[in-house]
Chains A and B, each alone.
Chain A
Amino acid sequence: MKKLDRRNFLKLGASLVGAGALGVPGAASAMGRGPERPPLAIDRVVNGNCQFCQVRCRLKLSLSGGRIVLAEGDPEDVWTAGAMCPKGKSQLELVESPHRLLYPMVRDGSSWKRITYAQALDLVVSRIEECKAKHQKDYSGRVVLFSPLWDCREGEIAADMALSAAGFSNILTPGETCISSASNILSTFLGTPNSTTTVNELENTGLVLLWGANIAETLPPYARWIEAARAKGAKVLYLDCRTTHTSALCDRQIMLRPGTDGVLAMGVLNLLIQTGAYDADYVAAHVRGFDNLAKAVTPYTPEEVARITRLPAETVTELASAIGASKRTILWLGGSLSRYSNGMQTIRALVAMQGITNRMFGPGSGIITMEGGKPGDDEVFLEHYRAEGLPEGQNMRRVTRSMAKGEVDVLFLNSSYRRYPDCNAVKAAIEKVGFVVFRGHFMNEEAALAQLIIPTPFGLESDGSMFGAERQVFWREATLAPAGEVVADWKFYRDLGQRLAPQVYPKFESAGELYEMFRKAVPSWRGLSLARLQKAPSGVVWPSFAEDEPERIGNYFAAGKLMTADGDLELDSSVLGPLTWQEPKGSPLADKAAKDFPLIFTQGKVAWHWQQSLTNYSQLIAQFCSGRQVFVHPSTAGGYGIESGDAVKIRTELGELSATAVVTEGILPGVVFTASHFSPSAPFEGNRGQSINTVVPNNWDRVSAQFNGFGCQLVKA
């Protein structure tokens, strides 16, 4: 077995170079496609990154005369080898879009009045100071921030410091609508909320379980790692209720009823235990709660699992057999698992499965989770700036209730409210907020709710540190000067923080200065100097305690034990209670389910769109989209007299969406799928549609919102 050191790793990266290389001038001639054109006069090449999915593909942007003339994925990046997906390419259009907001504006009746940044900042400060003066000691929940996917870490750090130093604790992260269920379960049982290995370990594994993980469409540049795994002889099993681009990358797809993943996991656990196909020595030495686990999964015989999941019982047995026999297994948790109300218990069962088979450690084993690459220890820095006695922040449900009761005075609407289920109710609550500040790029549904707009730059227009999916930290240089008077988050929140908490808030004049301030203060970041990052196109993996330490690539549990207090796996949890499974809330198969909505609703991303926001403003992408479609099995469609191309309504207890039917055998009977991304305000018809979460009922697990698995109906329009 070849040692996976950095040199070999780079060779692998080079061998996976794809389309990025075709951007080289002169290549067309070499391939016999026409006359050679004069080379581009490139002034400089800048290191950038895509600001969409967490892979955050590193880019090489070539400028001539101040304009971007060539954008390629960085072929030297060891994680992406130069890949870029359509979303990343759309940034080039979006940054020049005529629809961009470029100047601060304050609401003036039904229209907007342009103001200066200084005036905008004064307005925000005055509203916050009014709030504090009026509510004296009871103001901590009255200023709220909906976090975006920050364009750089310095934006998030500056914002956190500004609000917490000023005494406000309600900074709402996207996680509640994303994968917080997974990150909380991983943190509870493994001691880290992140992936426990890096994606290159797919080259060393024997079995890849893409469990609800539609990688080809959610993390397109990472499809190459699945291909690399298969090329090395690994088996790839994909569990999803419908055919996707990922289906073509696997050896076998298991199409189970949506929302029943926990049942299947418990059925596999039952078989592993019954047949002894687990690591008894490891369990005896390092796992507690095994007996309770065995008891909890006993009812989930292959027949019972088959009944609930709609899989053949033999499939359950075959899956358990493959997992039990595998010497190295990587479990890739799809984001969708966190988006059912039974998600936490599902992920808990899957973690237990990896645990008792002792597939957490070493090359080719571990768990990868979506959004699993965020480096840690921000708290070590941020805690110095928190106001004394700052209460714990509230979750979105409590914040929505506070807004609806008129108990929130200022909202920084930095991201889409339409990412929450029953988003019309969230909108109604936001309409009761005293002062809404929109921080974004376009005049969309969020801007429409604001009293003040302070537009933000795109990642191409700002520098800062960022992280990818492997805990790697990299430095992005600004490629373009910021358009108009857009203001980077780190700058706006710095200015705000220095006005609200001048005694506490630190002084810095650039993202780089803030980065170095942070880096020097946090031991696990000390090895990640700005100078080092600037020389590392692939970034450098966190943690790094000193600059001369080797990079920590591969299985995170390098010491062969978990990051829990004693290194062992405790399967019992008084916080979570017993391991159980329940139907997703609103499931048409639950007891006493309403008969009106007999079909199972699912939604998700498609490869070329980001959810509810930016990519809807791309004309390039709109060319390949034809409005909302709903995918339905022929046996289901036939029952409604629906054929492909028919105009239909997807109806839920909250309302209905218009869509065009696509009848396909690539989805389970009784299940429908429609894409998540549409916006009513999209300027291009192909991207335009009603926001999906207007019809998604407000169901949650203990942490995350549910977006799938509830009942719906199809009606011919």
Chain B
Amino acid sequence: MSLPLPALLNAVAAALANEVAPALQLLGQPEAPDANYAGGTAATAAMILMLAAAEAAGGPAREAAAAAAARPLLGDAAAGRDNRMAALGHLLAAGDRRALPLLIAEAEAAYAALGLPPPVRVTGEVTGGPA
């Protein structure tokens, strides 16, 4: 997902104004409602802002790389996330699995941008589990 930056930034600002600030004003008062929640809200909002900043810095290069990789298969439809995803979706629906490596690569790049540990398979001696 391309982060909807304007919506996220507006939402973070609203969260800080409407939930954290009033609660922080009450911190130190034993009866303060929402004080615990304020801490969690502020921490989560800070993480979202860091993600948004990383997205702003690295998103365009990632998008350009994804479009370049898909262009041999999609032509002009490779430009722009939604156009590319729709075109790859049509190919997949038609049974053309050449779309899948492109989708996997794009998902890997988007996840890597988060800076988190990679997904690890949950495995065991059970047959039939694909994930």
Report whether chain A binds chain B. Answer: no
Which residues of A line the B interface, CB within 8 A?
none
